[in-house]
Copies of this chain bind each other. A is one copy, B any other.
Amino acid sequence: MDKTIEMNEKTVIAIDAMGGDNAPGEIVKGAAEATVESPVNVILVGDENRIKAILEKVEYRPEQLEIVHTDDMITMEDVPHEAIRRKPEASMILAAKLCSAGRAQGLVSAGNTGAYVLSASLNIPRIAGIRKTAIATVYPTRNAQKRKDHFSLLLDIGANIHCSAEDMVKFALMGKIYASDIKGIKDPTVALLNVGKESYKGGKILSRVYKILDELPGVNFIGNIEGNDVMRGLSDVVITEGYVGNIVTKTMEGIAETVSQLGRYAFKRRFLWRIGLIALSSGIRQLKELIDYSEYGGAPLLGFKEIVIKAHGRSKAKAITNAVKLAAKSHRDNICGRIEKEIAEFESLK
């Protein structure tokens, strides 16, 4: 009986309509499409006139869509801590407040990452025992573990710069819960990104993280992995501090960009190479689909009591639709509650 009620009561996702390189157009279109494709309610926060003008041209379910107006917004160029202070009515901040007020159960923005982390931190309570939140990204791998999918989860990729050993252990616990949900496996493997395989590597903090995880029941810890193992998919979850995670993720993006430029160069350079690229085009298309971030729906910011999803700054409508659906699914699967329980169990062992 309770379950039926829960299923009929739709999850509400608050969306920063003004954040991201393609806002508000692609954000509003993506949110509108989410109401058509799934039983989710969305609240679009931003310039009401602009939002309405965009909605006029697309299909959506009016009964599932609400607009909360504000004139202010934080841009990609704003300095996060200054913008948060100077623009208390910014769309990103108001959207976070809808979560803390209980009007929404999830948050999505494609805007300024630093400002988004700050505005979530200032407005949405953290789970007890979590001192540092973490941005987790799903990335494609060579699937060395032969899972049904070929994705791994890397966190933190930049919610914070540095953190303590215990913070990183909690990244492992949060990552484990999230990965077990999205990959549909019970006991995901967890690895620590380090400069060598041996337990003593990487200095005091990393060797302490190794020791704690190695002795922790309930975590399927496989030890350290190195940079060249990241893409191999040796582990379902890879943990690191935000400083390294950010640089590694962006290095991977940079290399993808380089490969695609090389392709364009080769296409122009020689007739034979052009023929080769045309023959390979269906393979290249399959590969692009495989590594297209818009399919994954964005990166969760883990450690809050509500679902917080960061969509890529370059997100188009499809990526936003997926981010909204991901937020709603994560709420239905009670990710935050399950993380809360996991952290409480860890704390009780101390």
Q: Chain copies in the assembly? A: 2
Distance A246 CA – B206 CA, assembled complex (angstroms): 15
Contact of A227 with B203 in the complex, beta carbons under 8 Å: no
Distance A242 CA – B194 CA, assembled complex (angstroms): 11
Name the one of B195, B253, B269, B275 contacting A246, with C-beta atoms under 8 angstroms.
B195
- B residues within 8 A CB of A249? 227
Contact of A247 with B227 in the complex, beta carbons under 8 Å: yes
Binds B, one of A43-51, A84-92, A229-237, A323-331: A229-237
- B residues within 8 A CB of A194? 247
Name the one of B198, B230, B247, B279 contacting A79, with C-beta atoms under 8 angstroms.
B198
Name the one of B198, B240, B273 contacting A280, with C-beta atoms under 8 angstroms.
B273
A115-152 near B? 1/0 per residue, CB < 8 Å: 00000000000000000000000000010000000000
Contact of A247 with B248 in the complex, beta carbons under 8 Å: yes
> SS class of chain A's interface: helix, strand, loop or mixed?
helix
Cβ of A337 < 8 Å from any Cβ of B? no
- A114, A196, A283 — which one has the most chain B CB atoms within 10 A of its CB? A283
Name the interface size band of chain A. Answer: 35 or more
Nearest-CB distance from A121 to chain B (Å)?
17
Cβ of A262 < 8 Å from any Cβ of B? yes
Q: A195 — nearest CB in chain B belongs to which residue? A: B246
Give A residues with C-beta under 8 Å from B: 79, 114, 142, 158, 161-162, 193-196, 198, 202-203, 226-232, 240, 242-244, 246-255, 257-259, 261-262, 266, 269-270, 272-273, 275-280, 282-283, 287
